[in-house]
């Protein structure tokens, strides 16, 4: 049966166009119940059980199916995902509404529907002759959809009666909309709210914890005192933003101070890019990453960013007096120049909530169901949840979702989602850090794996069609020990004309990952391989990353080669690019390659090639540094693991050899050569990488720190910074230069991917290069895969496809890649932090030399060179008398009693693992030297058994 709708539309040119919309209605859409005689197996895919064996409901004891409305699907997805909930009918009307309102929930519901064990069935009610309803005159779309859902529920109940009169199968309509429920009951449809139904499942009391609490009235705290001002409606916010009364931006909470946040204003105007917010009232229930509207406060109320470190640790009560007291700490006399534009949140434009990992802080009130949940991410406020399993969940890592934040509640309300396992357990903690940093880490799906080449694999004649055979060349790879995903290999040989030929050969990943298929989409989503301390989350399946794409020795592999002809002064005479086949003659570690270069007896082809490369690399590096490239420093940590327990038994900073630098120089050269080529060929849609110059204000801390040691650091250009860093030496303090370079690294901006047609500043500040890209690591970076595709099209070795030459699509891709790279970096740091804790847990208490990196109002941040470890020494302890502290931001310095601390001062600190807070176990540092009465720790006081005592507490 065909329904058609005709309407007229005016075109831009002023003409009138007649549009006919056809809507087909069918009789052969099945109800989804296996074995339904009336439908005759018309449905396909996952189906409902004929005899649902679901948990007994006290409200509806007979067998039944559930039919939820849109809001239940949107807000109670955590309940629906629970294994106890099965046999659910998802209507097309509901699914379409969910799709338009929340992409993440839509994806989750599709996943549940595809899980055959859950028996979720999608019923296309909009195309079924008996369940399709037309919008009536005066009826809005929402009411029409509610009616369509009720019509479908009623049809189902009548249909099931016909199917089996004695069976008494029912369809229960689940809705939280009071009017809709009343109408359904009037029409004879069994209907309950989600809460009523879940509470009736007496065999599954834990399901109640997963209910999202939506009615804000019910959740308001008994005191009823309004703490926050009301959020303005969206229409008023949009008006205000348009007129310039309000500014729209992204809310960024502070890790160090829960009473402070910044809002990054959207738009191109450079001034007022960042607005500071201080105090609970001005933060007004915004949560990290929300899109908010802010109102600027008058200049007289502007504040300076606080140097105080404040964490929200306290009892579970809503102690507003304590908050007011803490807010007054933030307001200290400051220099007029330090004041920043200050504002307050007037409304929320879009919430960016996600499920949060953390731990339960059990209420002190006996039998209480209300508890506070403390997220692992310190930027997220604590969340109040209701649970009956508090004693089971104590000491566990759990996931909680936020439901809302009423005006008179100090904390947002939420609900329990999932238990991840014991806190402190290595598997659990790794899962937490992957979830918290949004690292996709599920095993690759069958759809993705289906695009992998069939084994055994070999290079075919077809593969060689557009390739050069370079298998005769003496190619070798140099990598860290234990590396299995070998992206790059090198060669160097003398030509007959006396010049040198140097080749960088990169794994030809784009040969195996073809545009647009499931493997390509998954690699693009992951964006990068994530390296944790003892785990690697691959961007591509292992068959490619560790085998077919990895340039292992003595096997034929496909590569993309960048080959230069150079003279002995490392000047490039010719550059060419070609797809190739290579056979690496050796896979070496940096140490092995260094040993060959230094050896007096080894003179084989591989060693000769390495010596040639090393000689050229030194010239290239010198030339690069002369141009103003920066040599910065950041302490990289390396753990030695116990072979059985896999716990760290030793920890040291990574040693860098000449060979590290040798490989790096040729990778940089290849990246620059490729960047020039792809930009030449595709000026509008080359994927490039830039490193913006930092604003002068970023360097303030570095300049002040150097000045305190009577050194001058110039920062007007990268060249002057590099030169002044080279000159900043102190014969009595050799480590000072490294500290300055570490501090300079902190001043830098993040390097980012971008599309050449969307930007006109290509410069890479750190490398002092006018153009740069990433080409040399396609196994572990998706950006390189795109660059390979662009280069292949440029040299005629592969065909193009529409997305490759769409600069808007490329810009969106860059946005995701930049996000994934940033998250991978943070996840790596979190993994190092966790393994550092494990190391000190077994090591006990130690004292080490440290250098001050920053001074704060009530603390110093120190770096311990031996371990490459950074930590904070606090001078205001809860149960100790407050010392006399004088903070000077100009120098910067911190005076404690009569001792003054400057940046780069050498101190001695005591390091121990503090496990008193299971959630945020941390390395606690305290001052040993210089001795300050009442502050410094005496080494003889050290209780060496402390970690043991803490360990027992942890194992309880």
CATH code, domain with 354: 2.40.50.690
**What is the pLDDT, as a whole number, of residue 331?**
60
292 — pLDDT class (breaks 50, 70, 90):
very high
Give yes or no: residues 808 and 895 share one domain.
no
219 — pLDDT class (breaks 50, 70, 90):
very low
Highest mean pLDDT among 129-143, 676-690, 855-869: 676-690
Q: At what angle do helices 782-794 and 518-526 cross, to 10 degrees?
A: 120
Averaged pLDDT, 418-440:
89
Query: CA 808 to CA 434: how far, in whole Å?
Result: 29
Residue 271 has pLDDT above 60, yes or no: no
Residue 761 inside a domain? The answer is: yes
Give yes or no: residues 738 and 874 share one domain.
no
Give yes or no: residues 700 and 682 share one domain.
no
Query: CA 646 to CA 563: how far, in whole Å?
Result: 42
**What is the pLDDT, as a whole number, of residue 953?**
37
**What is the pLDDT, as a whole number, of residue 4?**
61
**Concatenated DSSP letters of 720-777:** HHHHHHHH---TT-TTHHHHHHHHHHHHPPPPEEEEGGG-S---BTTTTBS-----S-
Give yes or no: residues 476 and 559 share one domain.
yes
Return phi, psi of residue 58, to 5°: -70, -20
Residue 185 falls in which region: left (phi positive, over 0), alpha (psi -120 to 50) or beta: alpha
**What is the pLDDT, as a whole number, of residue 166?**
61
Residue 280 has pLDDT above 80, yes or no: yes
- Identify each DSSP E strand in 499-555 by its residue range: 500-507, 530-531, 536-537
Residue 102 has pLDDT above 80, yes or no: yes
Residue 344 inside a domain? The answer is: yes
**What is the pLDDT, as a whole number, of residue 223?**
47
Residues, the chain: 956
330 — pLDDT class (breaks 50, 70, 90):
low
Give yes or no: residues 684 and 645 share one domain.
yes
Query: CA 690 to CA 673: how far, in whole Å?
Result: 15
DSSP 3-state assignment of 414?
Answer: strand
* pLDDT higher at 564 or 105: 564
Give yes or no: residues 299 and 374 share one domain.
yes
Q: Are 580 and 464 in contact (CB under 8 A)?
A: no
pLDDT in tens, 632-646: 766 666 666 666 666
**What is the pLDDT, as a whole number, of residue 214?**
65
Averaged pLDDT, 827-837:
87
pLDDT in tens, 112-121: 888 888 889 9
**What is the pLDDT, as a whole number, of residue 718?**
82
- Mean pLDDT for all residues in the chain: 84
Residue 661 has pLDDT above 80, yes or no: yes
Averaged pLDDT, 268-296:
84
Query: CA 30 to CA 125: how far, in whole Å?
Result: 10
Domain that holds residue 455: 446-688+755-825
Give yes or no: residues 628 and 701 share one domain.
no
Question: Domain boundary residue among 142, 177, 210?
Answer: 210
**What is the pLDDT, as a whole number, of residue 343?**
92
Residue 227 inside a domain? The answer is: no
pLDDT in tens, 839-859: 888 888 888 889 898 888 888
Give yes or no: residues 540 and 663 share one domain.
yes
pLDDT in tens, 766-825: 898 999 999 999 999 999 999 999 999 999 988 889 899 898 999 999 999 999 999 999
CATH code, domain with 866: 2.40.50.140
DSSP 8-state code for residue 56: P
pLDDT in tens, 22-61: 778 888 788 888 777 777 655 556 678 887 876 678 888 8
Query: CA 382 to CA 148: how far, in whole Å?
Result: 40
Least confident of 180-194, 358-372, 749-763: 358-372
**Concatenated DSSP letters of 62-85:** S-EEEEE-HHHHHH-HHHHTSTT-
**What is the pLDDT, as a whole number, of residue 820?**
95
Give yes or no: residues 135 and 64 share one domain.
yes
Highest mean pLDDT among 202-206, 323-327, 918-922: 202-206
956 — pLDDT class (breaks 50, 70, 90):
very low
pLDDT in tens, 507-545: 999 999 999 999 999 999 999 999 998 888 999 999 999
- CA-to-CA separations, 441 to 424, 520, 612, 816, 822, in angstroms, rounded: 20, 16, 41, 16, 16
Share of the chain above pLDDT 90, in %: 36
Residue 315 inside a domain? The answer is: no
* Residue 827 CA neighbour count, 13 Å, CB half: 28
Averaged pLDDT, 4-19:
72
Give yes or no: residues 683 and 818 share one domain.
yes
Residue 853 inside a domain? The answer is: yes
Query: CA 180 to CA 150: how far, in whole Å?
Result: 8
* pLDDT higher at 91 or 925: 91
- Total tally of structural domains belonging to the chain: 5
Q: Are 630 and 818 in contact (CB under 8 A)?
A: no
Give yes or no: residues 250 and 110 share one domain.
no
Residue 217 inside a domain? The answer is: no
Q: Taking the model in full, what pTM does it have?
A: 0.79
Residue 493 inside a domain? The answer is: yes
* pLDDT higher at 573 or 267: 573
Residue 220 has pLDDT above 50, yes or no: no
Averaged pLDDT, 247-268:
86
Residue 280 structure tokens: 């609970």
658 — pLDDT class (breaks 50, 70, 90):
confident
pLDDT in tens, 405-415: 988 888 999 98
553 beta partners: 584
Averaged pLDDT, 142-148:
91
Residue 570 has pLDDT above 90, yes or no: yes
Residue 197 has pLDDT above 60, yes or no: yes
Residue 951 inside a domain? The answer is: no
Query: CA 936 to CA 860: how far, in whole Å?
Result: 13
Residue 169 has pLDDT above 80, yes or no: yes
Residue 460 has pLDDT above 70, yes or no: yes
Give yes or no: residues 468 and 585 share one domain.
yes
pLDDT in tens, 728-783: 887 778 888 888 888 888 888 889 999 998 888 898 988 989 999 999 999 999 99
Least confident of 214-218, 716-720, 913-917: 214-218
Q: Are 532 and 542 in contact (CB under 8 A)?
A: no
């Amino acid at each position: 049966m065909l329904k058609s709708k005709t309407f007229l539309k005016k075109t831009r040119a002023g003409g009138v166009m007649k549009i006919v919309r056809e809507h087909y209605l069918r009789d052969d859409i099945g109800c989804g119940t296996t074995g339904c005689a009336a439908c005759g197996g018309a449905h396909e895919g996952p189906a409902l059980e004929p005899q649902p064996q679901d948990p007994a409901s006290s409200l509806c004891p007979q067998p039944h199916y559930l039919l939820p409305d849109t809001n239940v699907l949107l807000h109670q997805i955590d309940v629906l995902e629970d294994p106890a909930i099965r046999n659910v009918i998802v209507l097309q009307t509901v699914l379409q509404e969910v799709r338009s309102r929340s992409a993440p929930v839509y994806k989750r519901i599709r996943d549940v529907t595809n899980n055959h064990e859950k028996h979720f069935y999608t019923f296309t009610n909009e195309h079924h002759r008996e369940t399709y309803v037309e919008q009536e005159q005066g009826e809005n779309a929402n009411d029409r959809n509610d009616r369509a859902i009720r019509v479908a529920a009623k049809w189902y109940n009548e249909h099931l009666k016909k199917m089996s009169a004695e069976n008494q199968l029912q369809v229960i309509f689940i809705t939280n909309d009071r009017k809709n429920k009343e109408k359904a009951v009037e029409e004879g449809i069994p209907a309950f709210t989600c809460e009523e139904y879940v509470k009736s499942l007496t065999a599954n009391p834990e399901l109640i914890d997963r209910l999202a609490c939506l009615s804000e009235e019910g959740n308001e705290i008994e005191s009823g005192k309004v703490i926050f001002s009301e959020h303005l409606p969206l229409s008023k916010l949009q008006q205000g933003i348009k007129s310039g009364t309000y500014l729209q931006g992204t809310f960024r909470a502070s890790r160090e101070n829960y009473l402070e946040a910044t809002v990054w204003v959207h738009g191109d105007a450079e001034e007022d890019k960042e607005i500071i917010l201080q105090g609970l009232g001005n933060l007004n229930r915004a949560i990290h990453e929300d899109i908010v509207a802010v109102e600027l406060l008058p200049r007289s109320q502007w504040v300076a960013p606080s140097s105080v470190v404040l964490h929200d640790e306290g009892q579970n009560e809503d102690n507003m007096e304590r908050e007011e007291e803490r807010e007054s700490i933030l307001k200290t006399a400051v220099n007029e120049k330090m004041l920043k534009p200050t504002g307050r949140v007037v409304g929320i434009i879009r919430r960016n909530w996600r499920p949060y990992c953390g731990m339960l802080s059990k209420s002190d009130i006996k039998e209480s169901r209300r508890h506070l949940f403390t997220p692992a991410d310190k930027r997220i406020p604590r969340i109040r949840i209701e649970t009956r399993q508090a004693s089971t969940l104590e000491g566990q890592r759990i996931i909680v979702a936020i439901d809302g934040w009423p005006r008179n509640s100090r904390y947002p309300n939420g609900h329990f989602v999932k238990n991840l396992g014991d806190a402190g357990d290595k598997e659990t903690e790794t899962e937490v850090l992957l979830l918290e940093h949004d690292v996709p880490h599920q095993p690759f799906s069958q759809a993705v794996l289906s695009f992998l080449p069939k084994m055994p694999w070999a290079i075919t004649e077809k593969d060689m069609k557009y390739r050069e055979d370079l298998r005769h060349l003496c190619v070798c790879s140099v990598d860290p020990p234990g590396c299995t995903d070998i992206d790059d290999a090198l060669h160097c040989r003398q030509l007959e004309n006396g010049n040198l030929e140097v080749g960088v050969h990169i794994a030809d990943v784009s040969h195996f990952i073809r545009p647009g298929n499931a493997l390509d989409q998954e690699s693009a989503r992951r964006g990068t391989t994530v390296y944790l301390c003892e785990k690697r989350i691959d961007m591509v399946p292992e068959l490619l990353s560790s085998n077919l794409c990895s340039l292992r020795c003595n096997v034929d592999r496909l590569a993309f080669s960048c080959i230069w002809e150079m003279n002995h002064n490392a000047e490039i005479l010719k550059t060419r690019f070609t797809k190739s086949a290579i056979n690496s003659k050796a896979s070496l570690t940096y140490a092995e390659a260094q040993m060959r270069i230094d050896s007096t007896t080894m003179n084989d082809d591989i060693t000769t090639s390495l010596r040639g490369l090393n000689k050229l690399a030194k010239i290239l590096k010198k030339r690069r540094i002369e141009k103003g490239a920066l040599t910065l420093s950041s302490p990289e940590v390396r753990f030695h693991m116990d072979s059985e327990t896999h716990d760290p038994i030793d920890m040291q900073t990574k040693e860098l050899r000449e060979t590290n630098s040798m490989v790096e120089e040729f990778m940089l050269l290849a990246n620059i050569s490729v960047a020039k080529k792809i930009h030449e060929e595709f000026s509008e849609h080359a994927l490039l990488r830039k490193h913006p110059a930092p604003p002068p204000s970023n360097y303030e801390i570095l300049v002040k720190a150097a000045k305190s040691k009577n050194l001058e650091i110039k920062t007007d250009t990268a060249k002057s910074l590099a030169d002044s860093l080279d000159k900043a030496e102190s014969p009595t303090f050799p480590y000072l230069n490294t500290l300055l370079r570490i501090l300079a690294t902190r001043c830098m901006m993040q390097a980012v991917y971008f599309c050449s047609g969307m930007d006109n500043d290509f410069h890479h500040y750190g490398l002092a290069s006018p153009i740069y890209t990433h080409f040399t690591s396609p196994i572990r970076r998706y950006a390189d895969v795109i660059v390979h595709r662009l280069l292949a099209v440029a040299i005629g070795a592969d065909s193009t496809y529409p997305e490759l030459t769409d600069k808007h699509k490329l810009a969106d891709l860059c946005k995701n890649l930049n996000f994934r790279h940033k998250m991978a970096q943070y996840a790596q740091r979190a993994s190092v932090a966790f393994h550092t804790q494990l190391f000190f847990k077994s090591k006990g208490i130690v004292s080490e030399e440290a250098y001050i990196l920053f001074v704060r109002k009530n603390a110093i941040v120190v770096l311990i060179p031996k371990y490459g470890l950074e930590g904070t020494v606090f001078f205001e302890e809860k149960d100790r008398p407050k010392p006399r502290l004088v903070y000077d931001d100009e120098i910067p310095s911190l005076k404690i009693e009569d001792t003054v601390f400057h940046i780069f001062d050498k101190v001695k600190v005591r390091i121990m693992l503090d496990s008193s807070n299971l959630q945020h176990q941390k390395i606690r540092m305290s001052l040993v030297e210089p001795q300050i009465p009442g502050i410094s720790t005496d080494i003889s006081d050290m209780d060496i058994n402390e970690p043991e005592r803490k360990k027992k507490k942890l194992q309880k």
